[in-house]
Amino acid sequence: MTTEPALPPPGAAPAPAAPPRPHTAPAEPPSAEPPFTEPPSTAEAFPPAAPAPDLLSAGPERAPRTPRRPRPVLLAVSGLVLGALVGGGVGYAVQAQRPATPLPPIQVARPSYPAVAVDPTAFAAQQPKPLAIDGDLLKLLVSAPDGSAAWGDFPDKPSWLSVGELADRGASAASDFKDLNARGFRRAAEVDWKKDDARYRVSLIQYAPDHAGEAAKHTAAVHLGEAFADGANGGYRVYAEPDHWADSADQFYYGHALAQRGTVVMVVEVFGTKPVNPDVVKDLAKQQWERLV
């Protein structure tokens, strides 16, 4: 950067010369004392007061607020808290001044044993009796006789039966399913076979130990005729009128036997194309009952 004045470009017109200044006398130096000025009047020093506001335009005059009184609920709560604190402090101070009370010693009764030996026979008689039947139900079922054949999809050997399969045998499967579970159904086993135009079914239905009464109700609910064995709390019956298979026009003759032992219900059923022989039902029921006792 340079301090020399910039030259006008070539061909440019020269700038006009400034006119000469006129010669004037130098100004007088300011004096040290300020000039005297008159003090302002009182009216100028104090401006007039603002006019009073119009009360009508400002609204009605409000009454002064009354002092707020404490609420009764707050006083009651404060009194309760304060009373509890004071009472707890006084009680603690009183209890702290009292001497400690020793606790009584722990007393435990010593075990006592009979002076004489226990009779094993009498002790066993006092114990709860075991269930009448609590083994494998498959081993308690009768076997299909020689010369028999399988009955459709039903196995001709003893097999387990679920509660759903058992309920599905009746006309109202849903109702029977709920009824069996409500009455304490535990398990069931069955064997089926076919021989000489007759179909045979033997079932063992067991209920829970605390539902032994349901097994008795199951047996008593069916009207039975004659007893098939001495001491059996059941019987057998043969119907002379034919019945129809479910969802079919085919007829069959029916005979059955029921008995109950403990928590197990024994059911023997015979289906034939002609009237069922009562002796066949009686003999089969007797064979199955003898395997339960």
Between residues 5 and 73, the one the model is more confident about: 73
Q: Mean per-residue pLDDT for 232-258?
A: 88
The two structure tokens encoding residue 115: 């002076």
pLDDT at 94: 86
Amino acid 246: pLDDT: 72
Measured CA to CA, the distance from residue 50 to residue 45 in angstroms comes to 15
Average pLDDT estimate for 265-292:
94
Cβ-based neighbours of 200, under 8 Å, separated by 6 or more: 144, 148, 151, 192, 193, 194, 268, 269, 270, 271, 284
For 1-29, the pLDDT digits (tens) are 445 555 555 554 445 444 445 444 444 55
- Residue 155 has what pLDDT? 81
pLDDT band at 93 (very low <50, low <70, confident <90, very high): confident
Whole-model pTM: value is 0.55
Q: Which residue has the higher pLDDT, 112 or 177?
A: 177
Tens digits of residue pLDDT in 101-158: 888 888 888 888 777 777 888 888 887 666 667 788 999 999 999 999 998 888 889 9
183-195 per-position pLDDT tens digit: 899 999 999 999 9
Question: Exposed (0-12), middle (13-18) or buried (19+): which is 173, by Cβ within 10 Å?
Answer: middle
Question: Could you tell me which of 286, 255, 285 has the C-alpha nearest to residue 270?
Answer: 255
* Strand residues in 142-182 grouped as ranges (E): 159-160
The answer to whether the beta carbons of residues 192 and 200 sit under 8 Å apart is yes
Q: Is pLDDT above 70 for 282?
A: yes
